[in-house]
Amino acid sequence: MSSSEVKHVPILKDVIVQSLIEPFKLLSSDAPSCWLVDCTFGGGGHTGAFLKAFEDSTEFRRHSILALDQDPEAVERGKIRFKDAIAAGRLEILQRNFSEAGELLEQRPVLGLLADLGFSSDQLEDRNRGLSFQWEGPLDMRLNPTQGRSCLELLKQVSEFELEQILREFGEERFSKRIAAFLVESRRRGELPKTTKGLVDLVVRATPHHARHGKIHVATRTFQALRIAVNEEMEVLDRLLDSVIPRIRPGGRAAVISFHSLEDRKVKNQFKNQDLFRALTKKPIEANDEELSVNPRSRSAKLRIAERLVG
């Protein structure tokens, strides 16, 4: 995939743009310009939609967008794709983990924030990352390949108990004990899988015959769990919810897209904090049939939106 090629389809784009633009509409004409933050730039689909919404209205053109991503390749692609907006001062793209963005929000009046907790298509389809079981690649799985330990390093180091916990808690894998035992035994024999295909084959062998042909691929939950563990996604999400989103200006809005129940539960509980937020979505918004037909990866996406209160 070339550095400028973009395949990512932004999830729930229209409802997100409409909701996060709303606080900007309430500003008086003499109010200072404000910022909208895309915490997970990825393929740039949502950022591009925010830019267009600002450009299409003269009252919005004075506002700016800040896009963050820990993936250096995503940042580089974005700087090429949106070079004109960057040059015009309408967009700033920084390589930064969104959990570390609190200081950036303190320095800017932020009225809108989006965090899409999924992976972009660009990342999933990059075989060198090993994020997906659909393509052969090394067992890396890191969003930032320069930091932290790879999936293979994790599998070499964790105990069977720790591995079982990862698969059960992060992947909700009902055969977590069997898969963890198979992985540790393969490690003991010096046969630990080093590629995505090797890991898939092991998961298939560890799964009982009657459970190998369900609605989703048998390796889906294992890959999800390991991606979460490698990238410390639960810890990162906690920092986002506790230290970053509360720094949005009163009246501003936050939108978070999650992809499994653990994430959604954390977001729901934070947005129920009535001292800080007013939840605008009693139930999460999900993709409709039309979007699912265009972007099947949106099937598990759950969007929650909240307004920041004075507090």
Could you tell me the domains of the chain?
A: 13-122+233-308 (3.40.50.150), 144-230 (1.10.150.170)
CA dist 221 and 291 (Å) reads 23
For 258-274, write each residue's pLDDT tens digit: 988 889 999 999 999 88
What is the rounded average pLDDT of the residues 89-103? 91
What is the C-alpha to C-alpha distance for residues 24 and 30, in angstroms, rounded to an integer?
12
- How far is Cα 151 from Cα 166, in angstroms, rounded to an integer? 12
**Nearest-CA neighbor of 270 among 300, 235, 245?**
245
Residue whose entry in the numeric block shows the structure tokens 């079981």: 133
Q: Is 238 exposed, middle or buried (0-12, 13-18, 19+ CB in 10 A)?
A: middle
The strand pairing partners of 257, in sequence order, are: 116, 303
pLDDT of residue 260: 87
- pLDDT by residue (tens digit) across 279-303? 999 999 998 888 888 877 778 899 9
Q: Which residue has the higher pLDDT, 294 or 240?
A: 240
Whether 65 and 54 have beta carbons less than 8 Å apart is answered as yes
**22: nearest Cα among 311, 302, 275, 255:** 255
The yes-or-no verdict on residue 89 having pLDDT over 90 is: yes
Q: Which residues contact 239 (CB under 8 A, 6 or more apart)?
A: 99, 100
Assigned token pair, 70: 């820990």
Cα–Cα–Cα angle for 303, 309, 311, rounded to 5 degrees: 130
Closest to 108 in 3D by CA, of 119, 120, 94, 118: 94
Mean pLDDT of the chain: 90
Q: How far apart are CA 62 and CA 226, in angstroms?
A: 42
| 111-166: pLDDT as tens digits | 999 999 877 666 777 777 777 888 899 999 998 888 889 999 999 999 999 999 99
Instruction: Find, among 264, 253, 258, the residue nearest to 306 by Cα.
Output: 253
| pLDDT over threshold 60, residue 7 | no
What pLDDT does residue 143 have? 84
> How many Cβ atoms from other residues are within 10 Å of residue 220's Cβ?
16
pLDDT at 102 over 70: yes
Closest CA to 299 of 257, 270, 268: 257
Cβ atoms within 10 Å of 277's Cβ, excluding its own: 21
Whether residue 1 has pLDDT greater than 60: no
The Cα–Cα gap between 297 and 278 comes to 29
The predicted-structure confidence for 197-215, as pLDDT tens digits, reads as follows 999 999 999 999 988 888 8
pTM (predicted TM-score): 0.87
